[in-house]
Structure 1
């Protein structure tokens, strides 16, 4: 049974391992993943230690399979990571739908996310969920020691009705 719930502080290390595993899969071919692994692990550990209260996780049969976060508790999904061993089973879609409901309940009309432009799987995932590319930018990545393209995606959560004047 799939359950989506808030993370607990004692789950930080497991969530970090899931994030790191998914990150390694997503960044394969972009740079030297082995050289970036330790800094990436520290980044996941630090983020989760500071922001675990903003993290939702998805469980399947009592096994944590992924997590998502709204770092600033706004309309931006700062993280969405699904264990590569459990990808393709609809867990990411269920988690995304839940976080979108929470964004809408907090009175934000648009949900947004950002990913590496080369992460075609993530871009396709968000596009299948109704997101559209809103911007493309290039920024220098110190970890990769090169410029990296990022894609920003957005999805309206509120349907505005057209009102006809009589």
Structure 2
């Protein structure tokens, strides 16, 4: 059974480990995740500890299975992590639908997110749910000591006149 709820302030360690496992999988195409693991673990823990109020958790049969955040409580999904061991149960779709409801409920017409361009699994996931790539950027990443291309995706949350989602 799927249950979606707000994060609690005592869940930083649990949620950061979910984020680390999902991040490691997402970093496969870039490589060097092992070299950055300690820094990533610390970054996830610090983020969840300090920003838990912006985090939405999805549970599967009573176990935290993933989480997402809107760090600035605007239309941008800053984090979206499903524990790899829970993929394939519709959790990502349910979590994304909840975030889209929240974003629309706060008066935003569009939901947006970004990821590195090699994260084809995430890009495909979002595209299958109506997101389109709107920009490509290449920025130097000092931890990797190289340029890393990123893509920005967005989706209109405004209903078209025919009752479907899309551009108006």
Question: Same fold judged by TM-score > 0.5?
Answer: yes
TM-score normalized by the length of structure 2: 0.94
**1:12 match:** 12
The secondary structure found in structure 2 opposite 1:10 is coil
Assess if the C-alpha contact under 8 Å between 1:66 and 1:81 holds in 2: yes
Separation (CA, whole Å) in 1 of partners of 2:131 and 2:111: 8
Give the length in aligned residue pairs: 162
**142-151 vs 62-71, greater mean Cα deviation:** 142-151
User: Which of the pair has more CA radius of gyration?
Assistant: 1
Assess if the C-alpha contact under 8 Å between 1:110 and 1:158 holds in 2: yes
How big is each residue's C-alpha offset from its partner over 1:84-109, in whole Å with a ceiling of 9 and x where there is no partner? 00112110110000000000000000
**113-122 vs 41-50, greater mean Cα deviation:** 41-50
The secondary structure found in structure 1 opposite 2:130 is coil
1:77 maps onto 2:77 in alignment: yes
The secondary structure found in structure 1 opposite 2:153 is strand
Separation (CA, whole Å) in 1 of partners of 2:139 and 2:57: 30
What is the aligned-residue RMSD (CA, Å)?
A: 1.1
Structure 1 stretches of 4+ with a deviation exceeding 6 A read none
Assess if the C-alpha contact under 8 Å between 1:100 and 1:111 holds in 2: yes
**1:28 match:** 28
Distance apart, 1:160 and its partner CA? 4.5
**1:135 match:** 135
Distance apart, 1:161 and its partner CA? 3.6
